[in-house]
Amino acid sequence: MPREDSDMGIVAGKKRKTNKSEKEMIKKIASFYRNGFKNMPSWGKKLWLIILIKLFIMFAVLKIFFFPDFLNTKFDTDEQKSDYVKEQLINKK
């Protein structure tokens, strides 16, 4: 039993160490990105602005208002979709 306790202690110690090093790693990565963005020149910031505006137009405007998934908006199940597509193929000949 005492041996098991000490083994468990070692395991717990290792786990604490791992958690600590994981946290440090995450902190390092976060500060890497934070510093990167902070020290970015103005043209880099301009590019990020363009990216964000572009993504907003694409996903929040175009996708939602102009490009709904045709079959998903008309049907709920895959069976209904396949029946519809089959009907389209058969009747378009």
Partner 1 sequence: MEQFSVELVDWSRAQFALTAIYHWFFVPLTLGLSFIVAFMHSIYYKTGDEKWKNMTKFWMKLFGINFAIGVATGIILEFEFGTNWSNYSWIVGDIFGAPLAIEGIVAFFLESTFIAVMFFGWGRVSKKFHMMSSWLVAFGSNLSALWILVANAWMQNPVGTKFNMDTARNEMISFFDVALSSTAIFKFTHTISQAYVIGSLFVIAVSAWYLLKKRHLLFAKQSILIASVFGLVSAVCVAFTGDSSAYDVAQKQPMKLAAMEGLYDGEQNADLYAFGFLNNRKDNSNFKGIRIPSMLSIMAYRDPNAFVAGVNDILNGNEAQGILPTETRMEKGRIAIQALADYTLAKKAGDKELAQQKYIEFEENYAHFGYGFFQDKEEVVPHVKLTFYSFHIMVGFGLFFIALFAWLLYASMKNKLEKHKWVLRLSVWSLLFGYIASELGWLVAEIGRQPWTIQDILPVGAATSHLSVGNVQTTFFLFLALFTVLLIAEIKIMVFQIRKGPEKGGSHV
Site for partner 1, rule CB under 8 A = 32-33, 35-36, 39-41, 43-44, 46-48, 50-51, 54-55, 57-58, 62-63, 66-72, 78, 81-82, 85-86, 88-93
Q: Which residues of 31-53 are buried (b: 16+ CB within 10 A; e: fewer)?
A: eeeeeeeeeeeeeeeeeeeeeee
CB closer to partner 1 out of 8 and 50: 50
Find the shortest distance in angstroms from Cβ 13 to partner 1: 29
Q: Provide the 10 A C-beta neighbour count for residue 81.
A: 15
Nearest to 71 by CA among 63, 62, 83, 81: 81
Find the shortest distance in angstroms from Cβ 64 to partner 1: 10
CB closer to partner 1 out of 7 and 83: 83
CA distance 15 to 78: 47
Find the shortest distance in angstroms from Cβ 55 to partner 1: 6
Find the shortest distance in angstroms from Cβ 21 to partner 1: 18
